[in-house]
Structure 1
Amino acid sequence: MDNEFTIRKMVREDIEEVYHIECQSFSAPWTKESLYYELEQNLFAKYLVIELDGKVVGYCGLWVIMDDAQITNIAVHPEYRGRKIGEALLRFTIQLSREMNAKRLSLEVRVSNHIAQSLYKKVGFSPGGIRKRYYTDNQEDALVMWVNLI
């Protein structure tokens, strides 16, 4: 990446930008209300943003419950994809999960999303199973991917 990026904890003021990225990235985006709830009410949730030149260009949601961590959502603004921003955010999230004493980290990804699957494999995730008809917009299956953190 040519420019400097920063990964930090998401704050309330980031939700508009995060929601914009969410809507551009997913056919069934989370609502703003869901993002506010996750950020301010869910004690298990940790949300991160990645900034490039002072602009939020991606985010990641993480739940850590006991020794299990799960990425709930992760996205990079379409104009900034292909610049290793998602990879940097994933690697940071993996390290944060380790620091929070999680033993494993999981996520779900559409079976048709081969680009995301390749990225997840690159940072250490392996396929672990299928959740049938997981996505509500088109009933597509989800591939569950895991990485052991110990």
Structure 2
Amino acid sequence: MRVDDIPTISEIEREAFPTPWSEGAFHNELTNNHFAHYLVMELDGQIVGYAGMWLIVDEAHITNIAVRQGYRGRRLGERLLTQMQAAAVFLGAERMTLEVRVTNYVAQRLYAKLGFIPGGLRKNYYTDNGEDALIMWAELSRVEGVEIPYDRAES
């Protein structure tokens, strides 16, 4: 993701979330947060999705992942998340975590498919309605299709 992608990312963010991040928040992520790593997904030269994570030591935390409304249901979110998992491993992560609304069963099924398991709750996490967040974790060495480089696997 580049700074000039932010207006499009903000459109997708507003489509996907009731409390979207601001353009300023994305700008800060790209220019000031050395833990932040973001990817965009393009189709025919247009951004149709994005994903972000913070990488701290050996843990990756998914900050957001979204696909433009007209492109949902095509497994693009799954592809974005698998790319984030691969990038996290490349950058040295061994585990990945995320929060998801307790009522977002579609996302929870996707995360479970990609190796995430429930690890706890964050009570009243979402500011728009006070909904709880389910914390999910994945051990990246156990996720099919995500390979730990040889030297990291041996250490």
TM-score (norm 2): 0.89
1:116 aligns with 2:107: yes
State the Cα deviation string for residues 117-139 of structure 1 (Å, max 9, x = none).
Answer: 11111111111111000001110
Give the corresponding residue for 1:18: 9
The answer on 1:136 being equivalent to 2:120 is no
Q: Report the aligned-residue RMSD.
A: 0.6
Q: Aligned to 1:102, which of 76, 93, 110?
A: 93
Which residue identity does 1:81 align to in structure 2? R
Residue 60 of structure 1: aligned partner: 51
Give, as a single letter, the amino acid of the residue that structure 2 aligns with 1:43: H
3-state SS of the aligned residue for 2:47?
Answer: strand
Counterpart code for 2:52: G
Q: Which has the higher helix share?
A: 2
Distance in 1, Cα, partners of 2:62 & 2:42: 19
User: Which residue identity is paired with 2:13?
Assistant: E
- Aligned 1:6-45 pairs, distance under 5 A: 10-45=1-36
* CA distance, structure 1, for counterparts of residue 33 and residue 18 of structure 2: 24
How far did 1:53 drift?
1.0
Gaps of 5+ in 1: 1-9
User: For this pair of structures, how many residues does the alignment match?
Assistant: 141
2:71 alignment counterpart: 80
Letter in 1 for 2:22: T
Counterpart residue type for residue 93 of structure 1 = M
In 2, the alpha carbon distance for the partners of 1:96 and 1:61 equals 11
Report % sequence identity: 52
Deviation at 1:149, TM superposition (A): 1.4
Hey, what's the Cα distance between the residues in 2 that align with 1:83 and 1:13? 26
CA deviations on 1:31-88 (whole Å, 9 max, x unpaired) are 1000000011100000110011111000001100101110001100111000011011
| Pairing 1:69–2:60 present | yes
Structure (1 or 2) with the larger CA radius of gyration: 2
